[in-house]
């Protein structure tokens, strides 16, 4: 079998943990691993497509030694690709210095990251950050924040019991985030969900304006709906949402778990609109592959809604996760990755639009969805894997790309060259 320890930055014979990792890397083919997976892991994800054993930049390798161009980046997570030397070194140094403290204490990396996020978000004075470990936890914190905006008005006005989200929304799998998520198949098996959530027709400013009044605690919106197939909001929607929520005293909460941290070519996808939200959730790309989530609250009033003790987490904001995020933000900042993401994304979308079987291309930066002229996206994912490309199919007729932001135009071009063949085969094999 191929020596899978080759070309693996940081994995040298000197590392004391090598023996354990070598077992992991060498003990079995992909098929062997999948058999073991089937008898040891809960079947919530179905059968994994491949067993991946290592990565470097935009490339990953499976247990059988096959190489792939990763155009999905762990679903918008591996912002700097795999095994990024700077992120790896910062994580390693921090872990070797101080790995975890409880939230009875803090650490310099936690504070520095909160300050950096507030600076990048151009958040007004009094803005604050809460750290979690994932997207759904960041959304859960936002949901509780909305409830804190729900107290009945002193003058006898009705309580703010309603939280509005959009059709097609995906906000996560824990109960509060699931209540905000629209898809029935995800929701129904777990009802009753936390109450008060209503879903509005996607993109209808009229529906939004009609729905928002003083009974609404918050409106929760993704600037681009990733899981729904990379659907951007229509122009003017965010501005209308800001106007109507401000007027009604409702919070405008933007879920930037998928769109944030440079993914769309801006630090945060809402920024080009000029809208300042009341809160923003982050996760995915923030840690460059290391798990971390965050809730950013804008301004003093919103940042004071939680009293001490009303929310918390054991791991959230730990020194290693916050160091990983600092390293990721620093690298994006100092290597010009925002404009690179913008440029490569624009080029990729232009090229995709010229492919025969592609009917529509959407997205910003390197969050891209494109529709096919039929429901054969699943077969296209399989054929792309055969040909050495990782993509995904959020809907039966849509493919999504969310590659590392370091993707080069040359790498993108290899996919564009292969795509017509991939789509032709996929269409032919789909009944
Ligand atoms: N919010 C959005 C917009 C997402 O895209 C996701 C995940 O895809 C989540 C929340 C949930 O994040 P996580 O899977 O880290 O819990």
CATH code of the domain in which 266 resides: 3.40.640.10
Distance between CA 83 and CA 310 in Å, rounded? 37
Distance between CA 427 and CA 266 in Å, rounded? 35
Beta strands in 63-167 (DSSP E): 67-70, 128-132, 162-166
Residues 297 and 172 in one domain: yes
Q: Is residue 267 part of a domain?
A: yes
Distance 199 CA to ligand 1 centre (A): 18
This prediction's pTM:
0.95
- Count of Cβ atoms closer than 10 Å to residue 324 Cβ: 27
Q: Is residue 376 part of a domain?
A: yes
Is residue 284 flagged as an active site residue? yes
Torsion of the alpha carbons at 37, 43, 44 and 50, rounded to the nearest 10: 30
Residue with CA at minimum distance from ligand 1 atom 12: 135
Residues 328 and 346 in one domain: no
> Given the structure tokens 């354990």, which residue do they identify?
20
Is residue 424 flagged as an active site residue? no
Q: Is residue 230 part of a domain?
A: yes
Residue with CA at minimum distance from ligand 1 atom 15: 135
- Tell me which residue range forms the domain holding 71: 49-78+336-429
Residues 196 and 274 in one domain: yes
Residues 309 and 414 in one domain: no
- For the chain, the domain total comes to 2
Point out the domain boundary residue: 285, 310, 334: 334
Residues 289 and 354 in one domain: no
Closest by CA to 269, choosing from 221, 330, 328, 218, is 221
Q: Is residue 10 part of a domain?
A: no
Is the C-beta atom of 136 inside 6 A of ligand 1?
yes
Distance 398 CA to ligand 1 centre (A): 19
**Per the residue annotation, which of 268, 284, 290, 389 is the catalytic one?**
284
Digit-by-digit pLDDT tens for the chain (431 residues) are: 334 334 444 445 567 777 777 766 667 899 999 999 999 999 999 999 999 999 999 999 999 999 999 999 999 999 999 999 999 999 999 999 999 999 999 999 999 999 999 999 999 999 999 999 999 999 999 999 999 998 665 566 668 999 999 999 999 999 999 999 999 999 999 999 999 999 999 999 999 999 999 999 999 999 999 999 999 999 999 999 999 999 999 999 999 999 999 999 999 999 999 999 999 999 999 999 999 999 999 999 999 999 999 999 999 999 999 999 999 999 999 999 999 999 999 999 999 999 999 999 999 999 999 999 999 999 999 999 999 999 999 999 999 999 999 999 999 999 999 999 999 999 999 99
Residues 167 and 279 in one domain: yes
């Amino acid at each position: 079998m191929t020596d899978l320890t080759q070309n693996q930055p940081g994995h040298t014979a000197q590392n004391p943990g090598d023996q354990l990792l070598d077992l992991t890397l060498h003990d079995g083919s992909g098929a062997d691993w999948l058999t073991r997976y089937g008898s040891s892991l809960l079947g919530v994800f179905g059968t994994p497509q491949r067993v991946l054993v290592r990565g470097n930049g935009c490339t990953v390798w499976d247990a059988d030694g096959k190489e792939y161009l990763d155009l999905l980046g762990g679903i918008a997570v591996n912002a700097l690709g795999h095994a990024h030397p700077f992120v790896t070194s910062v994580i390693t140094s921090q872990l070797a210095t101080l790995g975890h403290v409880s939230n009875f204490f803090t650490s310099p990396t936690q504070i520095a990251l909160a300050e950096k996020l507030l600076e990048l978000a151009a958040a007004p004075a009094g803005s604050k950050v809460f750290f979690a470990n994932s997207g759904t936890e960041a959304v859960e914190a936002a949901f509780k924040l909305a409830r804190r905006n729900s107290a009945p008005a002193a003058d006898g006005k009705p309580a703010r019991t309603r939280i509005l989200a959009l059709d097609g929304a995906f906000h996560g799998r824990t109960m509060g985030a699931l209540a905000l998520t629209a898809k029935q198949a995800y929701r129904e098996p777990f009802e009753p969900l936390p109450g008060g959530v209503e879903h509005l027709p996607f993109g209808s400013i009229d529906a939004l304006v009609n729905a928002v009044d003083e009974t609404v605690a918050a409106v929760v919106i993704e600037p681009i709906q990733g899981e729904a197939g990379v659907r951007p909001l229509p122009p003017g929607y965010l501005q209308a949402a800001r106007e109507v929520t401000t007027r009604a005293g409702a919070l405008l909460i933007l879920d930037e778990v998928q769109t944030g941290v440079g993914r769309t070519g801006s630090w945060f996808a809402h920024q080009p609109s000029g809208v300042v939200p009341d809160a923003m959730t982050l996760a995915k790309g923030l840690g460059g592959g290391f798990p971390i989530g965050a809730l950013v609250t804008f301004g003093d009033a919103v940042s004071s809604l939680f009293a001490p003790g009303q929310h918390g987490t054991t791991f959230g904001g730990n020194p290693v996760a916050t160091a990983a995020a600092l390293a990721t933000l620093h690298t994006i900042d100092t290597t010009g990755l925002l404009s690179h993401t913008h440029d490569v994304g624009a080029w990729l979308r232009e090229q995709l639009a010229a492919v025969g079987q592609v009917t529509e291309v959407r997205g910003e930066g390197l969050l891209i969805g494109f529709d096919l002229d039929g429901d054969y996206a699943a077969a296209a994912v399989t054929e792309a894997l055969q040909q050495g490309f990782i993509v995904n199919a959020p809907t039966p007729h849509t493919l999504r790309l969310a590659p590392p932001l370091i993707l080069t135009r040359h790498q993108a071009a290899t996919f564009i060259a292969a795509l017509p063949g991939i789509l032709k085969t996929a269409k032919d094999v789909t009944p």
